[in-house]
Amino acid sequence: CVQPSVPPVPNYKLSMSIPEWLQAIQTYMKLLQYNHTGTQFFEIRKTRPLSGLMETAKEMTRESLPIKCLEAVILGIYLTNGQPSVERFPISFKTHFSGNYFHHVVLGIYCNGRYGSLGMSRRSELMDKPLTYRTLSDLIFEFEDSYKKYLHSVKKVKIGLYVPHEPHSFQPIEWKQLVLNVSKMVRTDVRKELEKFARDMRMKILKPSSAHSPMKERPRGKSLSPRRRQGSPQRRACRRDKS
């Protein structure tokens, strides 16, 4: 009986450029594969301290099981820790398709004046983006255009704060510092809001909103990039959004 091969965890080498390093991390995630089983192998509670989530990420590298979008964000943070020039922040999307709402999250990356992302999705256009976007809004509009290819309309975009590089931090990740109802806004206004937020983020003047209002935890993990067969059993994993 042949043991399935376990992909080696990527190691940063000084000879690597940051885009090459991010590519190595994304390649590793793809080798783990997207979890199509309908069962989530790792429990990710968004309100947990960063230190606890980093322990879960370590477990992911040991177990080498398929992952979904939320796990990919945690794993991406874990693997980019110790690279202070690489800022990481969560980007969440709520989309509408065929009478249902879907949720998806990727890890936004900012480095050397450029934006990109890491992540996992059923759709290759809804995960990693190269570190080439000059503004945060360029990156978000790229995702919005990618969603359109699958007839999904983006309803809300939520942007979190930069995640500290201290893996033993007891502070939780700030998932939704900026919430935009993009379906009710024109692009020029969306761009203005995103650029102001990005500027404040770069100047590190934003404080977690969760310090004032504890985040309500949502039940169950839910990935949600578009799916091909709406009749599949996985459909049940997609909940209707009540908000």
Asked whether residue 2 is assigned to any structural domain, the reply reads no
* Residue that the structure tokens 């909940």 belong to: 239
Q: Is residue 69 among the annotated active site residues?
A: yes
User: Which distant-in-sequence residues (6+ apart) come within 8 Å of 117 by Cβ?
Assistant: 91, 106, 107, 108, 109, 127, 128, 129, 139
Question: Which structural domain, as residue segments, surrounds residue 128?
Answer: 18-203
Asked whether residue 185 is assigned to any structural domain, the reply reads yes
pLDDT-derived band at 5 (thresholds 50, 70, 90) equals: confident
pTM score = 0.85
pLDDT-derived band at 233 (thresholds 50, 70, 90) equals: very low
Q: What is the pLDDT of residues 118-165, one digit of tens each?
A: 999 999 999 999 999 999 999 999 999 999 999 999 999 999 999 999
pLDDT-derived band at 86 (thresholds 50, 70, 90) equals: very high
Q: How many distinct structural domains can be found in the chain?
A: 1
Asked whether residue 212 is assigned to any structural domain, the reply reads no
Please pick, among 117, 121, 137, 223, the residue that the annotation labels catalytic: 121
pLDDT value for 2 = 54
Query: Does the pLDDT of residue 114 top 60, yes or no?
Result: yes
Query: Does the pLDDT of residue 197 top 70, yes or no?
Result: yes
Please pick, among 69, 111, 223, 225, the residue that the annotation labels catalytic: 69
Please pick, among 103, 104, 146, 210, the residue that the annotation labels catalytic: 104
> Please, what is the average pLDDT of the chain?
88
Q: Is residue 104 among the annotated active site residues?
A: yes
pLDDT value for 4 = 63
pLDDT-derived band at 206 (thresholds 50, 70, 90) equals: confident
Asked whether residue 46 is assigned to any structural domain, the reply reads yes
Mean pLDDT lowest among 59-68, 120-129, 137-146, 230-239: 230-239
152 C-beta neighbours (distance < 10 Å), count: 24
pLDDT value for 55 = 97
Give dist(CA 134, CA 125) in Å, integer.
Answer: 19
Asked whether residue 195 is assigned to any structural domain, the reply reads yes
pLDDT value for 231 = 43
Query: Does the pLDDT of residue 216 top 60, yes or no?
Result: no
Give dist(CA 107, CA 159) in Å, integer.
Answer: 10
Asked whether residue 132 is assigned to any structural domain, the reply reads yes
pLDDT value for 137 = 98
Asked whether residue 53 is assigned to any structural domain, the reply reads yes
Asked whether residue 109 is assigned to any structural domain, the reply reads yes
